[in-house]
Structure formats: structure tokens, C-alpha cells
Structure 1
Amino acid sequence: MPSTPSSSSPAQPLRIASINTNGVRAAYRKGMGEWLAQRDVDILAIQEVRASTEDLEDLLGPEWSILHDPATAKGRAGVALASRSTASIHRVELGAPDFDSAGRWLEADYEVNGKIVTVVSTYVHSGEVDTPKQVEKYLFLDAMLARLPELAAHSERAVVLGDLNVGHRRLDIKNWRGNVKRAGFLPDERAYFDRILGAEDEPGYNDGAGLGWVDVGRKWAGEVDGPFTWWSWRGQAFDNDTGWRIDYQLATPTLAASVTDYAVDRAAAYDQRWSDHTPVVVDYLV
């Protein structure tokens, strides 16, 4: 974690990475540890941990301070934050008291160069049209929309990152025409992102519209397809780059304005993948 800079040395970027591991133990068996060892990450947000806190501690090692919110159902979901320094405070509740958000929302405050940076690792439900799973997804998104203004009021340097399981725009899905009736690209789901970021045809989209948050990936990449962050294991989806961009870093304007680099760490080949998602890594100059 960057320390307070001296007058003779410039501040170092805070590197925050997010990854849905699809099971962290399996990811480590396939090469996640090698990726992490060379990526110089300061704060790592993990989704779909599917393991115990002890497993995380054993895999990451003693140099990491770990926060973990497991799902109610063992072996499902689970979110974590691992950092080079200890969080000053963390929170896990989201939504009404009777709403089960366990394993899907984990907030933490970190002191960086004398400033508070709030980081949220979140895993939105995948959903399934016309089933209770889709109802749960909408309940979660409702709770998330209610929380975002509170987060922005709490900290001008906040970032919500993880697998949000919605492609906001046509640019975010390779074959969008075939997915307009599928969970992940439904008009009602995409409307939530319009409320967060503004609609793409709305003045101020991704620059103060909606709730004012910034989609760092789209801001950095511009008006291009992707860059995609998830590909099915089946068929030639990865080789043909037939993917979805569903892993985000949504930042408050102050934090978004400090971005110095954005990267999607796509594996070089299909057989080098250690998850069906890929890490999203952003450098912030705090």
C-alpha cells in the first residue's frame, strides 16, 4: 500500500484489482498465484470465493490482510478483500434486514497517503428470466442503488468493483442481438446502469449523469467493443473473443479522475485461463 510520499518522491499509484475466481482454490491450482505474484496489486477484490477464510489465508499468505464475507450457503458466492494494509473499518450489510446479501457485498475503508479510499467487492446475482433468481437479482440491484449515494457521501474516493453480471451497453457484449431476452442484458437490468451512469444517449453519460458514478473501464477504453472480461468455457468463445464485459470498477468522480492505467489481464491462450473471468486492474493516483 503506498505510504505518504516525501517531497522528493512522487506518490505511487494505488493498484486495485478485481477478479471473479469461480472458486479461489481451483483458480490457484490453475495459476492465479503466479499472476498475483507478478502483478504488484495493493488491494485485491475477489468474487465467487467458494472457500473458507482459512483457505484464503493459506493461499494468499501472511503478507495479505484479508476480509471475507462468505455466502449463507456453503460453497456458493462469497466475496473478499485482500490488502497490503489493514482496513480501518468494514461493512457487509446491504438492503433491508430481512434481505440476504451474505457473500455478495463487502465494503472496507483504507487509509492511503492520509486519505480514505472506500473499496467494495461485490457479486451481483446472475439471474434467470421468469424465476425467483431474477427477483433476487432485482432486489440486490435495488439495494445497491440505494447504497451508492450513501457511499459517495461517506467518501469522495470510493470504488465499487466486481462481477456485476450486467452488460450495460451493446458494446459490452459481442453478440448482443442474441442476448436481449437473457439475464445479463435485459432492458430492465440495463436501466439500473442508466440510473448509475446515465444512458448512453443522455448528456453527461459516464461523466456526471445518473447518480454520478464513473464506469472506469468504458471511460478508459472509449467507444469500442469490450474489452470483454468473461467468456464461456464452451466452444470457441474465448478464441473468437465472443465475450461479455460484466466486471466493472465504478468509481466516484474524484477517484475516477485519478486513474493512470486500466488493464484487462486476458490470458494469452485458452489453456492458460484460471477462471472464466479475467482480472480488471486499475491504477489510481490517490
Structure 2
Amino acid sequence: MKRIITANVNGIRAAERKGFFYWIKIQNADVVCLQEIKAQENQLDDRFYPKEYHCYYQFAQKKGYASTAIFTKQTPIQVIKESPWDDINFEGRFIRADFEDLSVISIYIHSGSAKQERQDLKMAFLTERFMPYLQELKASGRKVIICGDVNIVHQERDIKNWKANQKNSGCLPEEHAWLDELFFEVGFIDSFREVNKEDGQYTWWSNRGQAWANNVGWRIDYQILTPNLKGTVKSASIYKNERFSDHAPLIMDYQL
């Protein structure tokens, strides 16, 4: 397994109309993880199940909301659509594919920008449920790649306007601290930063103003590795030649 792509498509039907599935075909990725599908199973025809892949969706019970997917060339040993958390399952925010010695997870972490209640839910999930789950994954010794929209920038180099956003969801001090704990204390790896240390590397741009044109962005999409995958990253890129959504696909090449 060499190439893994993660992309928040912000509506898979809209992304398809913009050429996303043609682009996927020419990327020749081993695994593609998608978030924010915003569709139900009965709304997707063969165009959304490319024949080159085994395609697995986890649909939200609420119509037109959230949802995740994993496309994989290799047949998984198992696909786990039910996370340990009922509310996450209700919104279709988690799907996991297990291979022989590797698991790949596609996850869509809450945005807290709508109202304080959602931000509180986001932080409670991260600290009380997701962090213990990640620690269990580490302790199991299994190799795991967690792909998805985490909705948090980590450091100042990961966002254009760091100071101006310190009171906004996704750039709050407690959110940075959560990623600090994950990367610096628990030992998980921000795979992109293994090979790219540059500023101005973003994966999401607001649709307001001229954010895309001026590269006023946030890096909130990740491929996060268990510590036992250190040294496997070969290259990283953010695809910006075309726009399929307000996020850009994150492409990682590994030696696995």
C-alpha cells in the first residue's frame, strides 16, 4: 500500500460534477478516504462506486448531512462502520477498514463554529472519548492511519491569520493543546509535517471574500499515524490545481 488520499468533498454529488471521480481515477491511489458526503445511499448511482475500488460508505441517518467513505483497491479483512459512539454513528462520522497489519480510518470531527453547544460537544468528544480510543489503538500495537477533517489547525504555520482566529472554533487554545498532547505526548505522527515544514500549506479556505485567491487558508485535514509508522512517509502534497470543494485533497505516499 503506497498512496492514500483524504478529502472532504462537501457534498459528493457536487464534487462529482466538478470532476472529482475522474481525478481520483488518474491518481491511482490505494485508499481514498472521504468526508462530508452529504447524501443518502439511494441518491448515489454507479458513478459513486468506481469499479477500480471496493467502496464503503457510512451514511448519516439525517438526510444531506456529514457521512464518510473509504474506497480501497485491496479487499479489507473487515470494514467497521459502527464506532464506539452512538452520536458519531448517527451522523455517519466514522468508518474503518482493517487489512492484515494496517487499519485506515476516515473520520469527520465536528465543527464547533455553528454555536457553543457544538463546540462543547466537539471538545468533550476529543478529550473524553477520542483520545482514549487513540491511546487504545497505540497500546494495541496495530498500525493505524487516521484520515480526515479534524477541524483544528495545530500551529501558527498552519493558518494564515493565527492571532485573529484565536477565539474561533478550529483555532482555539484548547484545540491546539489537544493536538499537542496527541503529537508530542502520546506520540502520534502528523504525517504531512514529517516531510513538509513550510508555512502556507492549507487544506481549507472560506468561501467568503477572496480567501482561495489570496491563500487565506487553514490546514485542518490530516493523515495521523500511530507511532509505529514513523519513517514510512515518502511524500506529501495538497492538490490545488482544481477545486472540488472548499477543501483540497491531501495526498500522502508511504512505504508500507
TM-score of the aligned structures, taking structure 2 as reference length: 0.92
Q: What are the residue-to-residue correspondences of 1:112-131 with 2, within 5 Å?
A: 116-128=101-113, 131=116
1:259 aligns with 2:233: yes
Residues of 2 paired with 1:155 and 1:69: CA distance? 26
Counterparts in 2 of 1:56 and 1:17: CA distance versus 1, 3 Å: farther
The residue matched to 1:160 in structure 2 has which SS?
A: strand
Task: Specify the alignment match of 1:215 in structure 2.
Answer: 190
**Code of the aligned partner of 1:110:** F
Structure 1 residue 101: deviation in Å? 3.8
Counterparts in 2 of 1:51 and 1:154: CA distance versus 1, 3 Å: farther
Aligned length in residues: 253
Task: Specify the alignment match of 2:37 in structure 1.
Answer: 49
Alpha-carbon RMSD: 1.8
User: Deviation per CA, 1:14-38, whole angstroms, max 9, x where unpaired?
Assistant: 1110000001110010110221121
Residues of 1 paired with 2:115 and 2:133: CA distance? 26
* Contact kept in structure 2, 1:22 and 1:275, CA below 8 Å: yes
The residue matched to 1:266 in structure 2 has which SS?
A: coil
Residues of 2 paired with 1:264 and 1:94: CA distance? 28
1:192 aligns with 2:162: no
Residues of 2 paired with 1:216 and 1:36: CA distance? 21
**Code of the aligned partner of 1:134:** Q
Q: What are the residue-to-residue correspondences of 1:159-174 with 2, within 5 Å?
A: 159-174=145-160
Task: Specify the alignment match of 2:59 in structure 1.
Answer: 70
Unaligned regions of 5+ residues in structure 1, if any? 3-13, 199-209
Q: What are the residue-to-residue correspondences of 1:15-34 with 2, within 5 Å?
A: 15-34=3-22
Identity of aligned residues (%): 37
Counterparts in 2 of 1:155 and 1:106: CA distance versus 1, 3 Å: farther
Question: Which of 23, 30, 44 is equivalent to 1:35?
Answer: 23
Stretch deviating more after TM superposition (51-60 or 78-87): 51-60
Greater Rg over alpha carbons, structure: 1
Task: Specify the alignment match of 1:146 in structure 2.
Answer: 132
Residues of 2 paired with 1:56 and 1:15: CA distance? 26
Structure 1 residue 63: deviation in Å? 2.6
1:105 aligns with 2:91: no
* Contact kept in structure 1, 2:77 and 2:98, CA below 8 Å: yes
The residue matched to 1:139 in structure 2 has which SS?
A: helix
Unaligned regions of 5+ residues in structure 2, if any? none
**Code of the aligned partner of 2:249:** P
Q: Name segments (4+ residues, structure 1) moved above 4 Å.
A: none
The residue matched to 2:17 in structure 1 has which SS?
A: helix
* Contact kept in structure 1, 2:194 and 2:233, CA below 8 Å: no
Structure 1 residue 150: deviation in Å? 1.7
Counterparts in 2 of 1:249 and 1:258: CA distance versus 1, 3 Å: same
Residues of 2 paired with 1:58 and 1:31: CA distance? 11
The residue matched to 1:262 in structure 2 has which SS?
A: strand
The residue matched to 2:205 in structure 1 has which SS?
A: coil
* Contact kept in structure 1, 2:141 and 2:228, CA below 8 Å: no
**Code of the aligned partner of 1:212:** G
Residues of 2 paired with 1:263 and 1:254: CA distance? 22
Stretch deviating more after TM superposition (19-28 or 48-57): 48-57
